[in-house]
Amino acid sequence: MVIDRKRLIRPTIDPHLLCPCGSTKRAAACCLGAGGSVRKFVKSVRPHPPTTGNSQNGCYLGHTNDCAGGISREHYISEDVLEELSEPAVAIDGVFWLPPGERQIVGINSLTANILCVRHNSALSPLDAEAGHFLRTVKRIHASLDTKSVSRKRLISIVSGEALEQWILKVACGLFYSKIASHNGLRIAIDHAIEDAVIAEGLFSKRWFSNCGLYMRVAIGQRVTGINAISMAPLIALTPEKRYLGIRVSIIGLEFAVIFDPRHDAATLAAEGWRLRPTDVSFRSKPRTHWLILTWPAGVPSRVIELRRLP
């Protein structure tokens, strides 16, 4: 088999055109840096200083002593995201490497929970905005691949990989602290440990242990299904010490995992085809290839994930 290597090279971004991140600035004045590097800036989700010194009972970030406003009751997968899904139902599996079949569909109204204070909930909202942008972008790409139009126009889009990573971490917390996440019918929040400090570091400092963060994979030979559904499965340690390690999320046909606890089995993840922090996703159909660029801090090596549309 001949592999066309050029196919896997990201197209150049024109510095003089509108930035493909969805902003209204030219690329050179926005995400495009010197030497062609690309980084989308998303504002910090740490609440504005000074810290309040209060810990709200029931807020899962209460240990940071920076709560205010009482408990908020909001969808922890925000409505900005849910409204992008035309079938807003959520499927939840037990543990992702178990065979499917233990899947449960829950309505979106069961995704509200009293798990954050008002101050933390609003501080985290830029993550939902970026997740909404990500979903709209991927839907536009899917629509373009579907179209019978003869246009070969290539779409190039930029999404902050860091914000997507943080958003999935937030979803993982929502599932856990609302006690929805379960394994063999038992709620994992009852007897599994989650590392508070790791969650706060990931959300507020974007500091992750090595081999932790956003993973993505292509399920080989698998048709992209459930474009409008979101499916989530907690990942737990299969050891006597029960730990909540991460989450797998399938959303609009893409498979992600966010691993926040370093005690996971990195070798198994690699064997299952998971790749840490992809920089590019190319969507290829016969006449067209569209590019989704995920941006990361400097130093993340280029990793292209190629999704081929099956006939």
Measured from the CB atom, is 117 or 269 closer to Zn ion? 117
Query: Smallest distance, Å, CB 15 to Zn ion?
Result: 11
Q: C-alpha distances in angstroms, 86 versus 74, 81, 129, 166, 199? A: 20, 11, 18, 24, 30
- Phi, psi of 197, deg, nearest 5: -65, -35
Query: Smallest distance, Å, CB 148 to Zn ion?
Result: 31
Query: Smallest distance, Å, CB 197 to Zn ion?
Result: 15
Measured from the CB atom, is 30 or 224 closer to Zn ion? 30
- Name the residues that contact Zn ion, by CB under 5 A: 19, 21, 23, 30-31, 56, 59, 61, 67, 117, 120
Q: What residues contact residue 79 under an 8 Å CB cut-off, 6+ apart?
A: none
Query: Smallest distance, Å, CB 124 to Zn ion?
Result: 10
Q: What residues contact residue 103 under an 8 Å CB cut-off, 6+ apart?
A: 91, 92, 93, 231
Measured from the CB atom, is 24 or 184 closer to Zn ion? 24
Measured from the CB atom, is 122 or 285 closer to Zn ion? 122
Q: What residues contact residue 3 under an 8 Å CB cut-off, 6+ apart?
A: none
- Rounded Cα gap, residues 242 and 237, in angstroms: 6
Query: Smallest distance, Å, CB 67 to Zn ion?
Result: 3
What burial class does residue 251 get, using C-beta atoms within 10 Å of its C-beta: 0-12 exposed, 13-18 middle, 19+ buried? buried
Query: Smallest distance, Å, CB 34 to Zn ion?
Result: 15
Measured from the CB atom, is 31 or 235 closer to Zn ion? 31
Of 270, 246, 131, the C-alpha closest to 198 is 246
Measured from the CB atom, is 173 or 224 closer to Zn ion? 173
